[in-house]
Amino acid sequence: MHTTDLDLKELFRGERQEPMGMVARSLAMRQLIDLALRVARVDSTVLISGESGTGKERVAGLVHHASSRAPGPFIAVNCGAITETLLESELFGHVKGAFTGALQERPGLFESANGGTLLLDEVGEVSPAMQVKLLRVLQEREIRRVGESTTRAINVRVIAATNRDLAQEIAEGRFRMDLYYRLHVVELQVPPLRQRREDILPLARILLSEAAARLNRPVSELSSRAADQLLRYHWPGNVRELENAVERAVALAQGGHAEVEDLPEEVRQAIPVPLVTSPVKHLEAIEKDYILAVLDLNGGNQARTAEQLGIGTATLYRKLKRYGMTRSACPGALRKQA
Ligand SMILES: Nc1ncnc2c1ncn2[C@@H]1O[C@H](COP(=O)(O)OP(=O)(O)O)[C@@H](O)[C@H]1O
Ligand SMILES: [Mg+2]
């Protein structure tokens, strides 16, 4: 069975080219999804790397659902969450009496995922002994239940995910190079959200309508100030953090709009950080951007802005005058003139 181009097109919803509801407005994300869809056509092992909350599991699901294995199971196992012994019986299964508490024979996840895809999440956390076992499974394509001497063939596509830098882990002797090469036949690197800012608002809008439906709240939009604030924040927890921030805003919103005040403290406090990747600006321009952003954050309140910036109100007034801002300017007007 092959996934045809037609099938792939059907995975995209609407003109926005969002396969399976995955937001990918940025070039980086579109390229990543394109690569994911191409690798879905073959059975190669895939390594998905990226910070926590960037969407690694989501990308793994996309690879599975765009592959000929889509009718089969997609199973994810978090290798970092359980002890080595438990992980072994979880993955490979065990026979009755294999260890204390093994009251019944049980197949492992490799067997449960037969005909489908198994995601080994947080593979960088796996112990050296377990790494050897995984390497053997990937090479031999067969497993042995704990306590059993016979092997069983498996037909599973393996995807591994990690938020660690595996090359670094290898250099420091914590990860086997041979396993690394087995896993990263193709590597999909999911960029952090702060490096694909075009995705922030489209994601926020989808997450907002999902949260509104889930919480049964009549919140349909982000106010423009709230949207600006989402763009300023650096999102260390990536899409997962955005999801939580938006859910909070939906829960607290008073009307049909989620406002800045409804966002979590750290997001509300965010001030624009000059990106190292953007062209270097004059300090004066940065000062201006910064001052206007803080003023905007304070809803145009100059006294509070001056206090937060640690300057006198007269100094702030002088600077605003130089920028062509008037005392009565509202935040929206400030932005337009800026
Ligand atoms: N591109 C995306 N479009 C829509 N939702 C996304 C996207 N990326 C991540 N998410 C959502 O963000 C959350 C975190 O994603 P997840 O795949 O679990 O991240 P990771 O595995 O990298 O920690 C999930 O709820 C997921 O559905
Ligand atoms: Mg994950």
**Each residue of 181-228: pLDDT tens digit?**
999 999 999 999 999 999 999 999 999 999 999 999 999 999 999 999
The number of the ligand nearest the C-alpha atom of 78 reads 2
Q: Which residue from 119, 129, 123 is spatially nearest to 79, judged by alpha carbons?
A: 123
Quickly list H helices, the chain: 5-11, 27-40, 56-65, 84-92, 109-112, 128-140, 166-171, 177-183, 200-215, 224-232, 238-252, 265-268, 283-297, 302-309, 313-322, 331-337
Query: Which atom in ligand 1 lies closest to the alpha carbon of residue 206?
Result: 4
Angle between helices 313-322 and 302-309 in degrees, nearest 10: 110
Instruction: Give the CATH number for residue 303.
Output: 1.10.10
CA of 147 to the centre of ligand 2 (A): 31
pLDDT exceeds 70 at position 278: no
Residue identifier of the C-alpha nearest atom 10 of ligand 1: 55
Q: Which residue from 257, 262, 265, 267 is spatially nearest to 217, judged by alpha carbons?
A: 257
Which burial class, exposed, middle or buried, applies to 83 when counting CB atoms under 10 A from its CB (0-12, 13-18, 19+)?
exposed
The number of the ligand nearest the C-alpha atom of 190 reads 1
Asked if residue 276 belongs to a domain, the reply is no
- How far apart CA 246 and CA 210 sit, in angstroms, is 10
Asked if residue 90 belongs to a domain, the reply is yes
* Residue whose tokens read 């197949």: 107
Does the beta carbon of 53 lie inside 6 Å of ligand 1?
yes
Residue 46: CB atoms within 10 A of its CB come to 26
**Do 255 and 121 share a structural domain?**
no
**Do 223 and 180 share a structural domain?**
no
**Do 144 and 13 share a structural domain?**
yes
Percent of the chain exceeding pLDDT 90 equals: 74
Does the beta carbon of 23 lie inside 6 Å of ligand 1?
yes
Residue 273 confidence (pLDDT):
57
CA distances from 89 to 22, 134, 160, 174, 176 (A): 33, 13, 18, 22, 21
Quickly list H helices, 125-171: 128-140, 166-171
CA of 52 to the centre of ligand 2 (A): 6
The number of the ligand nearest the C-alpha atom of 79 reads 2
Residue identifier of the C-alpha nearest atom 13 of ligand 1: 240
Does the beta carbon of 58 lie inside 6 Å of ligand 1?
yes
**Do 211 and 68 share a structural domain?**
no
- 146 by DSSP, 3-state: which? strand
What amino acid is encoded at 94 in this protein?
H
Q: Last residue of a domain, which of 268, 298, 324?
A: 268
Provide the domain limits for residue 314: 283-337
In eight-state DSSP terms, residue 289 is: H
Asked if residue 247 belongs to a domain, the reply is yes
- The number of folded domains in the chain is 3
CA distances from 332 to 271, 299, 337 (A): 17, 9, 9
CA of 334 to the centre of ligand 1 (A): 35
Asked if residue 273 belongs to a domain, the reply is no
Does the beta carbon of 166 lie inside 6 Å of ligand 1?
no
Cβ contact 196:26 at 8 Å: yes
Please, what is the end-to-end C-alpha distance for the chain in angstroms? 57
Does the beta carbon of 194 lie inside 6 Å of ligand 1?
no
> What are the pLDDT digits (tens) for 215-274?
999 999 999 999 999 999 999 999 999 999 999 999 999 999 999 999 999 999 887 655
Average pLDDT, the chain: 88
Residue 287 confidence (pLDDT):
87
CA of 46 to the centre of ligand 1 (A): 18
> What are the pLDDT digits (tens) for 50-89?
999 999 999 999 999 999 999 999 999 999 988 998 999 9
- How far apart CA 210 and CA 79 sit, in angstroms, is 29
User: Is pTM, for the whole model, over 0.85?
Assistant: no
Q: Last residue of a domain, which of 268, 295, 316?
A: 268
Please choose from 48, 58, 122, 190 the residue to mutate so as to test ligand 1's pocket, defined by most ligand atoms within 8 A of CB: 58
The number of the ligand nearest the C-alpha atom of 59 reads 1
Please choose from 201, 206, 240 the residue to mutate so as to test ligand 1's pocket, defined by most ligand atoms within 8 A of CB: 240
